[in-house]
Each structure stands twice: as structure tokens, then as C-alpha cells.
Amino acid sequence: MNCQCAIKYHHERHCGPFFEEPVNVTSGAALQVGYHLSTEAILNCRVGMLKDKTVMWIRRTTDKVSLLTVGNNTYSGDPRIKVKFQYPNNWRLHIKPIKSDDAGLYMCQVSTHPPRVFATNLTVLEPAVRIVDEMGYEFYDRYYKLGSTIDISCQVSMAYLASLPAATLTPPSHQLQRPKAAAAIPLPANVLSGDELSKYDSRHSKESNKWSDTTDSGLISWSKDGGELPKDIKLSFSGTKQWLISRISILQANRVHNGVYNCTVAGKQSSSAQVQVLNGETPAAVQHNAGHRSEVTIPLAAAIVLVLLASCSVLPDSTQIHMYGSLIV
């Protein structure tokens, strides 16, 4: 039987390089995978009987085709992209951390004639972990008035938790106490949802002191400037179908609460936000996400002009004006 006949009768692997495609992928169709924003995406390409042929990774977009890797060499100028060979035959493409614009079609190509191609379509999902304010808006930098209340939450994607190995959700038993540098919220070995999550939340609230003193590092941990949280900060735990939530509350904000708050999940993914407590001469808080926006500084005369212009405008009662940044006069 020649090679063409072998291909016809699905014995292609006897004729040269072939892809060990997942059983749930139709031949010729793209494999659909999804990874959470800022995590590491790993795209598999298992090639049998490669012999003297070469494996390449190519990214295809609507307007161009980009060569990413050839064999063990990376040709992309993006340092986030690497190829790592996993024995015995997996040429894995790693992208770390992934960004929103990394979504799209990636092709693993073998240098046969004609080339053989295995396609993977990458979808970028919501962040694995993020820090939000009391209104549920993600932020990276926030200002509060001295004496005000601060409520910020660490939201962890339930879909991300479901993707973690079971061993990750069950910390080692030899760790009897949490690290002093972090305040932790434990989670059962399996990810809860619906009524089970509510029941766990209730039990955790009743036994919060017990958990705090006897549990290991837990799944969600908070730190401030790399150290432990101030003692007056209150921790609470809740969840929805989409998010597992750890919340910290400060009733009377003061200068000791200034700093960078970091939330880490299972020792893998983390998110940070800076909190600054200012004196009473400044607004109570900047109610917007100031992350990724530069500070806006204008002269006093320009500020007065803006105020005069605003006073001349008639706006409906329902109109809200949002300022994305800090105005320093």
C-alpha cells in the first residue's frame, strides 16, 4: 500500500510525520483552548515520526502571518514567547503572561511537502485574579481621605480555580501555620458553588479565629508592602458563580494603611493595588480606576478657567462627570 492509500485509510502515521490530535478534535479543525489574562498559555503540538523534519510555530492574523519558532529556536522578538520541547514529541509554545491581543489562531507546521499543519485557536479569558473597589471596578491606584472607610476585594475566577490541579487546592499538611507575611483565607479541597459555597461561607465566618490560628497558608493570601496586614483590617470571604471573593475592610483609614496591597492565589497568580490615605484637604477618594493613567498636572490659571467653563454649563441632574486621573493645583 503506497502512502496515498495509507492516508485514505487513516494509516497516515506509517507514512511520515503525523499530529497526535486530541480525540475530541475533528481532523483539519482548530483545537479550541482558553487561558486567563496574565497567566501562562501553553499550546501543545505532538508530532509522531518527525525524523529529519522541522516543527515551526506560526501565528496567523487577518493581515499578516508571523513566524514565531523554528525547532528549538525562537524567532519572535516578543520575550514572552518561547518554545519548549517536552519529551517524547511535544513542541510546546509558551506565552507568559498572555495579553488580550494574543487571542487568535496559532499553527504548528511540519516541514513536509506540502506542509502539514495543526491549528490551535487561543481565547483569552477574564483575569484569573483582580482587585476591585466597593463598586466592583478594578483599580491599581486609589486615594482615600483620612478617617474614611476602605473596602477592597480580591476576586478569583472560579474557572481559573477549576483549572488548577487538585494538589494546588489542598496545601501540604506539614504547613501548620500561615506565613507571618500574609493574611490568608482557606478554601476546601474542592471548589464550591451555589448553596455549598454559601454553607462554607457561613461556617468559615463562625470559625474565623480557628481558621486563622490553625490552618496552613490557604488558597487566597493578602499582604501589604510584602509584609503582614495591619491588625485593624477585617477579612471576610464570599463567592458567586463567577468569582471567589476575599474582602478586606478598614473602618478608619489612616497613614498606616498606605501601601501596596497584594492578593495571591495558590502561590501562582497575584494582583496588586496601591492605597494612599491623604489628609482632609483632599477629596474623600478618587472614585475611578487610576491604574494605567498618568497623573494630570495643570497650572492654577488653567484650573480656574476650567471651573468657570463648568459653571457656565447647564447639565441635567442625572449627568455625572468622571475624571480619569488626579488634578493637582
pLDDT tens per residue across span 223-242: 999 999 999 999 999 999 99
Quick check: 123 and 34 in contact, CB under 8 A? yes
Q: What pLDDT does 297 receive?
A: 36
Question: All domains of the chain, ordered by start, with CATH?
Answer: 18-126 (2.60.40.10), 128-162+219-283 (2.60.40.10)
pTM of the model: 0.62
Q: What pLDDT does 219 receive?
A: 87
Q: What pLDDT does 287 receive?
A: 42
pLDDT tens per residue across span 23-33: 667 667 899 99
Q: What pLDDT does 115 receive?
A: 93
Backbone angles phi and psi of 109, in degrees to 5: -125, 135
Q: What pLDDT does 36 receive?
A: 94
Q: What pLDDT does 27 receive?
A: 67
* Residue numbers of the chain with a pLDDT score lower than 70: 1-14, 23-24, 26-27, 167-218, 280-329
